[in-house]
Copies of this chain bind each other. A is one copy, B any other.
Amino acid sequence: MAIRTIFWDNDAVVMIDQKALPNEERYVTCCNYGEVIRAIKDLTIRGAPAIGVAAAMGVALGMLHLETTSRDEFARTFYHICKNFAATRPTARNLFWALERMERCFADANPSDLEAVKKALVDEAVRICEEDIAVNRLIGMNGRSLIGDGASILTHCNAGALATAGYGTALGVIRAACEEGKQVHVFVDETRPVLQGARLTAWELMKENIPATLIADGMAGFLMKQGKIDLVIVGADRIASNGDTANKIGTYSVAVLAHHHGIPFYVAAPLSTFDFSIPDGNHIPVEERAAEEVTHLWGQAVAPFGAPALNLAFDVTPNDLIAGIVTEKGIMEPPYTSCLKPYRPA
């Protein structure tokens, strides 16, 4: 059965609790928008496209439960909620993209019928969710040719069903190759500090019987040197106009290592991850998270008491290290500025 990351159910937002995985497969129900905000902040839900869906549904949820007949209060609350969601996490472009879609939906709705506006917002959020799965299937179809039969693939973090509404971006490409009947083997970077690779990607791949081997992040380079990796494919949190790509911390190191070994490094992401308002990766805000994610693991200290630690959650891989970006519109290849041109908003 396909993994359901997030869905709208009975006027509430239901999501799989990614903090509990892989030890427990449990769903949490958010009955108000504040609970969705907390879920984004505390990584109950994570992954750029999934965060976008959660924000859209969270906004819809907040408005749905608003009891007012004042159009002014309704509008004020809408923008207040959007602002709160925009402040949850800074790096994933899809969050802002989804909020912009909700804002357009709000602007297009008939303000004299607030119940109709509420319905339009809920419909739009559900549409964003459904579209994301469809887009990921297209990404998979477009990217599967990159994966040869028998390929050994390295991935970092989780760009799977759990990072999206379903199917996944980087793991979607791998899934699509497997659905074609190709044999693959996936090496999974555990992806410290939050271990999305160990906890989520390994779980997804095991669930679908895709052969996978978990490794510590420091092992990837030596496996490449030994000729054990044919290609790398990862997801993205934000891609600048020139193809510079922000993704989970450690991705840049993997890209440099792949480059050093002549191994192609691919990114898979929907167009909603692209930020055409910025020329390059220097303009991508990189989230810094609590040091405790490095110094502790599930409440247990792994470092001396009081040890200073740095916790950059993302890094930026320059376009010249990226062999191609798989999108729902096809595989973008360097130079990215020109091949992306048709997809820039006017």
Contact = CB atoms under 8 A, between A and B. Distances in A.
Interface of A: 22-23, 156, 187, 189-193, 195, 198-199, 202-203, 206, 212-223, 225, 248-253, 256-257, 259-260, 294-295, 297-298, 300-312, 315-316
A303 B257 contact: no
Contact of A202 (B217, B257, B304): B304
A154 B252 CA distance: 17
A193, A202, A222, A300 — most chain B CB neighbours (10 Å): A222
Contacts of A223: 310
B250 A315 contact: no
A190 B302 contact: yes
Query: Ordered nearest first, which 10 A-B pairs have the shortest CB separation?
Result: A218-B250, A221-B253, A222-B315, A22-B304, A192-B216, A214-B309, A198-B303, A202-B307, A203-B304, A217-B218
A298 B295 contact: no
Given A218-B192, A297-B297, A309-B214, A199 B253 contact: no
Contacts of A212: 307-308
A292 to B, nearest CB: 11
Contact of A253 (B218, B259, B309): B218
A309 B215 CA distance: 6
Contacts of A253: 218, 220-222, 253, 257
A216 B315 CA distance: 13
B310 A214 contact: yes
A290 to B, nearest CB: 13
Given A22-B304, A199-B302, A225 B213 contact: no
Contacts of A23: 301
A307 B260 contact: no
A43 B201 CA distance: 30
10 contacts: A190-B192, A190-B302, A195-B302, A195-B303, A199-B304, A213-B309, A214-B310, A218-B250, A219-B250, A260-B260
Q: Chain A interface mostly helix, strand, loop or mixed?
A: mixed
Nearest to A286: B222
Contacts of A22: 301, 303-305, 307
Residue from A195, A301, A309 having most chain B Cβ neighbours under 10 A:
A309
A151 to B, nearest CB: 17
A294 B192 contact: no
Contact of A213 (B191, B219, B250, B308): B308
Nearest to A312: B219
Contacts of A311: 216
A260 to B, nearest CB: 5
A257 B252 CA distance: 10
A303 B188 CA distance: 11
Contacts of A191: 218
Nearest to A248: B218
**Which residue, A189, A199, A202, A259, has most C-beta atoms of chain B within 10 A?**
A202
Nearest to A306: B206
B249 A256 contact: no
Contact of A215 (B222, B297, B300, B310): B310
Contacts of A252: 221-222, 225
